[in-house]
Amino acid sequence: MTTSLHPTIRTYLDAHTADDHETALRTFSPTAVVTDQGETFRGTDDVDRFLREAGSEYTYTSEERGVEQVDDEHWVVAIRLEGDFPGGVADLSYRFTLVDDLITELSIG
């Protein structure tokens, strides 16, 4: 396990937590693919929709619980969400693929 994140992933997580959709979107490649809750978002327009809509019906906090750098392109960040969504607590793995310092793939599960 490593304790520091790639700067692109740090920027994404901080921007997403702050609801700064424009900054978060700039961390993705134009052809990025995001998978979350069984739905796949492809390309800039879909990823922008994901950033604006995912979890927006709930209030929650997030806490980073661990970081693993698998190799130069792949990172896994363990995140715990707590809020008013069904179940109230969710432990998730955010699996990132980076190419040229941009997120090309994000799988949340």
pLDDT tens, residue by residue, 57-109:
889 999 999 999 999 999 999 999 999 999 999 999 999 999 999 999 999 99
Q: Are 103 and 94 in contact (CB under 8 A)?
A: no
Band the pLDDT of 3: cuts 50, 70, 90: low
Amino acid 95: pLDDT: 98
Question: Distance between CA atoms of 70 and 64, rounded to whole angstroms?
Answer: 17
2 within domain boundaries = no
| DSSP states along 19-48 | T-HHHHHTTEEEEEEEEETTEEEEHHHHHH
Strand order in the sheet with 28-36: 39-42, 28-36, 102-108, 89-99, 74-83, 60-69
Whichever domain contains 28, its CATH number is 3.10.450.50
Q: Which residue has the tokens 């619980």?
A: 65
Amino acid 2: pLDDT: 46
26 within domain boundaries = yes
Residue 1 has pLDDT above 50, yes or no: no
* Domain containing residue 43: 7-108
Q: Are 62 and 79 in contact (CB under 8 A)?
A: yes
pTM of the predicted model, to two decimals?
A: 0.92
Phi/psi at 50 (5° precision): -55, -50
40 within domain boundaries = yes
What is the number of structural domains in the chain?
1
76 within domain boundaries = yes
Amino acid 55: pLDDT: 73
56 within domain boundaries = yes
Q: What is the mean pLDDT of residues 45-61?
A: 90
1 within domain boundaries = no
Question: Distance between CA atoms of 93 and 36, rounded to whole angstroms?
Answer: 11
